[in-house]
Amino acid sequence: MSAPPFPDSLTAGKLPHTLLARLLAHLPTAHPRLLLGPGVGEDAAVIDFPADHLLVAKSDPITFATDAIGHYAANVCANDLAVTGATPLFYLPTVLLPAQATDESTVQAIFDQIGTACTALGIVVAGGHTEITAAVNQPVIAGTLLGQVARDSHITSGGCRPGDQLLLVGEVPIEGASIIARERRAELLALGWDGAMLDQAAGYLYEPGISVVQPALAAARTGLVTAMHDPTEGGVATGIWEMAEAARAGVVVDLDAIAVNPLSASLCAAFGLDPLGTIASGALLATAAPANVPRLLQHWADIGWTGQVIGQITPSESGCVATRGGKAVPFPTFPVDEITRLWL
């Protein structure tokens, strides 16, 4: 006998077992070290980790960008692992879906996004949880990603030292531009924006993309970087401040040297947002000794990434200093990410 059709709106609680089994069957779940993976009735993953490596773990919730939430969830966690030099391996997403507003197609789309993103990153889905609940009014994914790095080879955001040069790979704010174009499309079209241009910005989520796993792991393997950081909420300016704070150091930054994507800047300007404080996944901050910078920049160029020197790490007593046009200006600070102003 065939299974009964699912209702238009799924009820609160766990997904129907037959639906869950079908969704799991299309996720990347095969890995020789995943001894017990996701399955109906299984509540935990069993993973083998080698003794000569460190386990690196990252958890992050995604509570916005619901049309591409699965893509965001996997990539944001992967970026944070990669900047430690760790290879992302096993993802465990907790997916919370709104009651009376979730149907089979919604769940299918989210699982497809997670599966596609994880496959592209070489990650397998090791477990997780999916639930329909009245506690949320839109989809939320809180994911945990596990990875590994060789013992004594991990990198921290605070590993930079006075005298190191500060580098930026990629442009900012790629992620912010995609969110603006997706969330405010109708308003921008009414203001006269070209639809094709908005499509381009919305597509920044995938091209150039918000992943920095490739340049981060490539840099880690050279042994030339002293610190790396993934600037997200608060933008690149906040990311720079966080690196200095973690290192208990100061920094001087040439704001003119920061590669701001022109279309991203225009979209920010349309809503009065500062590009330097707008969510900036898709860019990578790193530091290195001056003698190692040319080799590092060339290494990135060889794999298709553009980097530039944007500043220098200084002693802590120097504080955070910025320049524009060769003159000192206040260091840009943002109590909250500029993107939040879209919803005020």
pLDDT (tens digit per residue) in 76-105: 999 999 999 999 999 999 999 999 889 999
Query: Which token pair is 192?
Result: 């006269």
Is residue 26 included in any domain, yes or no?
yes
Residues 113 and 187 in one domain: no
Helix or strand holding residue 218 (H, E): helix 213-222
- Indicate the pLDDT class of residue 243, thresholds 50, 70 and 90: very high
Same-domain check for residues 228 and 303: yes
CATH number at residue 290: 3.90.650.10
The closest of 116, 70, 65, 225 to 160, measured between CA atoms, is 225
Phi/psi at 210 (5° precision): -100, 0
Distance CA 112, CA 126 (A): 16
- Whether residue 160 is contained in a domain is answered as no
The answer on 321 and 181 residing in a single domain is: yes
Same domain, 144 and 180: no
The single residue listed with the structure tokens 């990650």 is: 123
Q: Are 278 and 235 in contact (CB under 8 A)?
A: yes
Q: What is the pLDDT of residues 202-231, one digit of tens each?
A: 999 999 999 999 999 999 999 999 999 999
In the numeric block, the tokens 């590092």 are attached to 296
**How large is the average pLDDT for residues 314-326?**
97
70 and 180 fall within a common domain: no
Question: In the listed set 150, 182, 197, which residue is the last one of a domain according to the structure?
Answer: 150
Q: Which of 125, 150, 175 is the last residue of a domain?
A: 150
Residue type, 35: L
Q: Are residues 30 and 114 located together in one domain of the fold?
A: yes
Please indicate, yes or no, whether residues 121 and 79 belong to a single structural domain of this protein: yes
Query: If pLDDT is split at 50, 70 and 90, which confidence band does 6 have?
Result: very low
CATH number for the domain spanning 54: value is 3.30.1330.10
Q: How many CB atoms lie within 10 A of CB 42?
A: 12
Compute the Cα dihedral for 59, 275, 320, 250 and give only its sign.
Answer: positive
In contact, 106 and 146? CB cutoff 8 Å: no
Report, in angstroms and rounded to the nearest whole number, the Rg of the chain calculated over CA atoms: 21
Mean pLDDT of the chain: 94
As a whole number, mean pLDDT of residues 297-322 equals 97
Using CB atoms within 10 Å of the CB of residue 163, give its burial: 0 to 12 exposed, 13 to 18 middle, 19+ buried: middle
Q: Are residues 171 and 142 in the same domain?
A: no
Residue 188 sits in the same domain as residue 322 = yes
Last residue of a domain, one of 123, 150, 177: 150
Is residue 13's pLDDT more than 90?
Answer: no
Residue 202 belongs to a domain: yes
45-49, 79-83, 124-128, 301-305: segment of lowest average pLDDT = 45-49
Given a cut of 50, is residue 314 above it in pLDDT? Answer: yes
- Number of alpha carbons in the 13 Å side-chain half-sphere of residue 57: 7
C-beta neighbour count of 68 within 10 angstroms: 21
Tell me the per-residue pLDDT of 277-290, one tens digit each, with 9 for 90 and over.
999 999 999 999 99
Give the residue with greater pLDDT, 7 vs 78: 78
Together in a domain, 124 and 175: no
272 within a domain of the structure (yes/no): yes
Same domain (yes/no): 191, 60: no
pLDDT, residue 9, reads 67
40-44, 136-140, 249-253, 286-290: the lowest-pLDDT one: 40-44
Asked whether the beta carbons of 12 and 132 are under 8 A apart, the reply is yes
Q: What is the pLDDT of residue 137?
A: 92
Domain membership flag for residue 71:
yes
pLDDT above 70 coverage of the chain, percent: 97
Clarify whether residues 185 and 334 are in a common domain. Answer: yes
Count: domains in the chain:
2
Cis bond upstream, residue 208 (ω within 30):
yes
Instruction: Transcribe 144-168 into DSSP letters.
Output: EEEEEEETT----TT---TTPEEEE
What's the pLDDT tens digit per position in 36-84?
888 888 778 898 989 899 999 999 999 876 789 999 999 999 999 999 9
Tokens of 140: 């939320």
Give me the domain span that covers residue 80.
13-150
Distance CA 80, CA 241 (A): 17
Q: Given this model, what pLDDT does residue 140 score?
A: 96
